[in-house]
Amino acid sequence: MKHEEIKDKDNVSTVTQFVLLGFSDLPELQGFLFVMFSTMYFIILTGNFLIILITRLDPALQKPMYFFLANFSFLEICYVSVTVPRILVNICTQDRRISILTCATQMCFFLILGATECFLLAVMSYDRYVAICTPLHYPLVMNPTKRFQLATGSWLGGIPVQIGQTCQIFSLHFCNYNHIDHFFCDLPPILKLACGDTSVNELCVFLVAVLFAAIPFLLILASYSRIIATILRLPTATGRAKAFSTCSSHLLVVFLFFGSATITYLRPKSTHSPGIDRLLFLLYTIVTPMFNPMIYSLRNKEVIAALRKLVLRK
């Protein structure tokens, strides 16, 4: 495969496009991979669209918790749509070239949506905290204006920083080698291709990860420590079980997302290998979003009841 390179005055080649290697080392499995990713993408779209639909149509789900759940489902659709369609096109056409501008755009949207997911999960935990720990104030605190502001802040909060980080990464000089040993444009494999010292960029990536991932995760842990303490003080076992059931789905999603992301990005470099990295990124970017609608529907009686009503109505 030809890779475009332009020689500059210092006789150093400058990359004008990248090549996403993806799963090119598995030529005999290309058909299977196309079917697998297509099926997973369909499940993600269908499951999250159903959640959005029932939270809009069912009067019993017109609550702040389900307003944030609808936002989260729409976010998951956007999140996987940044990566999966490109994977399918690459497998189908076997043309794995991607321009620097397209690569930067994909990475920027991926980072922005990742930050949004961190913020939105923190907002959802705050919603559960207010509902369980201060139930009398819940309608006042989570009024329509406040929940709209929280959702908007989650969607927009990461945009300036992530655009800046993307511009910083792609202002680096890329030379000679333009193979990305990955199936989409992400920070670690792009940094590996940069010429010269990237320690400052790696430090910036770490600081942004602390800001957009570690701090929301700590806020979630603080919220749930108060929630669990409040639940344990409830006088009846029925009340404790009901309170736990409303939180368990969200808590499971939190640990799936932050756990897989932590393993993916914070493992020691000595343990990295292309095969393991790709499997972990699949877990983080595709498998987890696929299971989220199932987690929320199968562990939530109100969602199951709304789905049943929707099916019977149809």
Residue 125 · residue 224 · CB < 8 Å: yes
- The DSSP bridge partners found for residue 18 are 98
| CA–CA gap between residue 8 and residue 50 (Å, rounded) | 53
pLDDT at 39: 94
The 10s digit of each residue's pLDDT in 134-187 is: 989 999 999 999 999 999 999 999 999 999 999 999 988 887 788 888 888 988
Q: What φ, ψ does residue 140 adopt, rounded to 5°?
A: -75, -45
Neighbours of 170 (CB within 10 A): 18
The pLDDT of residue 2? 43
Strands in 17-20's sheet, in edge-to-edge order, are 97-99, 17-20, 179-180
Q: Count the alpha carbons within 13 Å of 52 in the hemisphere toward its beta carbon.
A: 13
Residue ranges of the chain with pLDDT lower than 70? 1-14, 239, 246, 264-275, 298-299, 314
Range of 228's domain? 5-313
* Positive or negative: CA dihedral 3, 8, 13, 18: negative
For residue 153, what pLDDT is reported?
95
Separation between Cα atoms, residue 62 and residue 261, nearest integer Å: 31
Q: Please count the structural domains in the chain.
A: 1
Domain with 172 in it: what CATH number? 1.20.1070.10
CB 34 within 8 A of CB 92: yes
Comparing C-alpha atoms, which of 29, 32, 119, 41 is closest to residue 287? Answer: 41
Number of H helices and E strands in the chain, helices first, is: 14, 5
pLDDT score at 232: 84
* pTM higher than 0.85: yes
In angstroms, the CA 190 to CA 18 distance is 9
